[in-house]
Amino acid sequence: MKQKLLIICALAASSLTVKAGNGLDTAKAAPAPADAPLVFSGSVDTYFKYDFEGKKFANIPTSFANESNSISIGMIDLGLKKKVGKASFVGELSFGPRSDQSIPTSATAQYHIQNLYVSYDVTDKLNLTGGYMSTFIGYEVISPVGNFNYSTSYLFTNGPFQNAGIKATYAFSDKASLMAGMFQDTWNSYQSTSDVSTFGAQLMLVPVKGWTAYLNVATGYASGTEFDLTTTYQVTDAFKLGLNAADFSASKLQSVNQSGGFDGIALYPQYAVSKDVTLGLRGEYFTSKTGTKGTAIAPSGVTPGESVTSITATANIKAGPLTFIPELRLDNGSKNMFLNSKALPTQSAAQFLFAAVYAF
């Protein structure tokens, strides 16, 4: 028995020692760099929301998290990415109410795609990408991992979520790049209604270290024209400031007398008070243009010709991969556009929510 143990001991120690020594002097040639492995990532989110005006009213009409007095679910998001040499793909599927509300789909479809595209680096500076992609417009995104606030802005709700198409991105340097592409005639659609006629472009600039600005445009006879500025500035290690401003002019298919659409601006200051806690605000002013289709509440959630001001105070509390998000939000319309607890029109609405987002 003793001999056996000694032999096992000697073999184990010698194998480890040999392994540790390998690669020092015996290798004959530098190995070729390995391709990146298949990357798997995603998130899960859930929340509780309380609307101050009543038990089940969901007064504030922006996207997602619109179930009150309920412990509700957001979505599970599963993404895959792989790059071999110059070619890569991304596939990202989601399931759940947040996913259902973000992507128009038929009653029979049981799947929702957030991203599904292939990409190729033609040179170090030029990249071609085609497929169904998150939109290049706006500050906020569908995935709760990509947003600081859990509720969403009016600008996000009324802008595109996804654009399917093909685009080319040229990087002049790490401080400037230009993207241009052709996308489906309608937003948020796996397939075009008639053709691929929306032109989109994005100019990315880094004027100073820490400051990134995106100037975006998407225009088409069916989808209308949106100009958008999205910018963030990391002012100090702890303080970040974001801004989103947009103007959308609806197409004649979407508006009365071609004057519909919206304007808006949102400011996002965020301050990290510790390594695990960041506090932030979102202040937004949003106007629905008079020609927007819809007589009572337009697709924007705001009555045509009216405006709304919204203040959202949010904390992000990190516990490893889990982020807790307590949030208080107050919206105030230019006229009565919400309902009070007696279901009568009122000018303002408030809500509290507590969300938990796990990212992996």
Partner 1 sequence: MKYILSLVCFLVISKASIAQKDSLAIDDHGKYIYYKVVNLEKYNADTLYSRAQYFFKNGYDKNTLKLAVQDNKNTSITGLGAFPVSKRSGLARHQDGAVSYKLIVEVKGTKYRYWLTDFIFTPYHRDRYNNYIADNGLVIPFEVLGKKISSKDMDDYFDQTAAFSKQLGDKLKQYMLQGNLLKKDASPKVISINKW
Contact residue for partner 1 among 69, 105, 197, 212 (CB under 8 A): 212
Q: By CB under 8 A, what part of segment 65-84 binds partner 1?
A: 79, 81
Distance in Å, CB of 169 to partner 1, minimum: 11
Contact residue for partner 1 among 85, 275, 295, 296 (CB under 8 A): 275
Q: What is the b/e burial string over 234-269, where b = at least 16 CB atoms within 10 angstroms of the residue's CB? A: eeeeeebebbbbbbbbbbeebbbeeebbbbbbbebe
CA proximity to 143, closest of 155, 130, 132, 152: 152
- Asked if 25 is part of the footprint of partner 1 (rule: CB under 8 A), the reply reads yes
- Choose between 208 and 296: whose C-beta lies nearer to partner 1: 208
Residue 199 class from Cβ within 10 Å (0-12 exposed, 13-18 middle, 19+ buried)? middle
CA proximity to 232, closest of 269, 195, 183: 269
Distance in Å, CB of 20 to partner 1, minimum: 5
Task: Select the span of 28-36, 179-187, 191-199, 216-224 touching partner 1 (CB under 8 A).
Answer: 28-36
* 64 φ/ψ sector (left φ>0, alpha ψ -120 to 50, else beta): left
Q: By CB under 8 A, what part of segment 162-191 binds partner 1?
A: none
Contact residue for partner 1 among 108, 209, 257, 342 (CB under 8 A): 209
Question: Is residue 65 within 8 Å of residue 147, measured between CB atoms?
Answer: no
Distance in Å, CB of 180 to partner 1, minimum: 16
Distance in Å, CB of 30 to partner 1, minimum: 5
- Asked if 42 is part of the footprint of partner 1 (rule: CB under 8 A), the reply reads yes
Contact residue for partner 1 among 94, 114, 254, 270 (CB under 8 A): 114
Q: By CB under 8 A, what part of segment 2-21 binds partner 1?
A: 2, 5-6, 8-9, 12-13, 16-17, 19-20
Query: 327 pairs with which residues across the strands?
Result: 314, 353
- Choose between 13 and 343: whose C-beta lies nearer to partner 1: 13
- Asked if 267 is part of the footprint of partner 1 (rule: CB under 8 A), the reply reads no
Phi–psi pair at 342, nearest 5 degrees: -95, 15
- How far apart, in whole angstroms, are the C-alpha atoms of residue 197 and residue 225? 12
CA proximity to 325, closest of 41, 56, 45, 42: 45
Task: Select the span of 37-45, 184-192, 258-266, 330-338 touching partner 1 (CB under 8 A).
Answer: 37-45
Element (H, E) at 176: strand 176-183
Question: Is residue 257 within 8 Å of residue 264, measured between CB atoms?
Answer: no
- Choose between 60 and 137: whose C-beta lies nearer to partner 1: 137
Phi–psi pair at 190, nearest 5 degrees: -65, -30
| Count of residues making up the chain | 360
- Choose between 55 and 175: whose C-beta lies nearer to partner 1: 175
Contact residue for partner 1 among 73, 76, 145, 265 (CB under 8 A): 145
31, 243, 257, 301 from 307: Cα distances, Å? 62, 19, 20, 10
Which positions touch partner 1 (CB under 8 A)?
1-2, 5-6, 8-9, 12-13, 16-17, 19-20, 23-25, 27-30, 33, 37, 39-42, 79, 81, 90, 92, 114-115, 117, 133-136, 141, 143, 145-146, 206, 209-212, 232-234, 237, 275-276, 320-321, 359-360
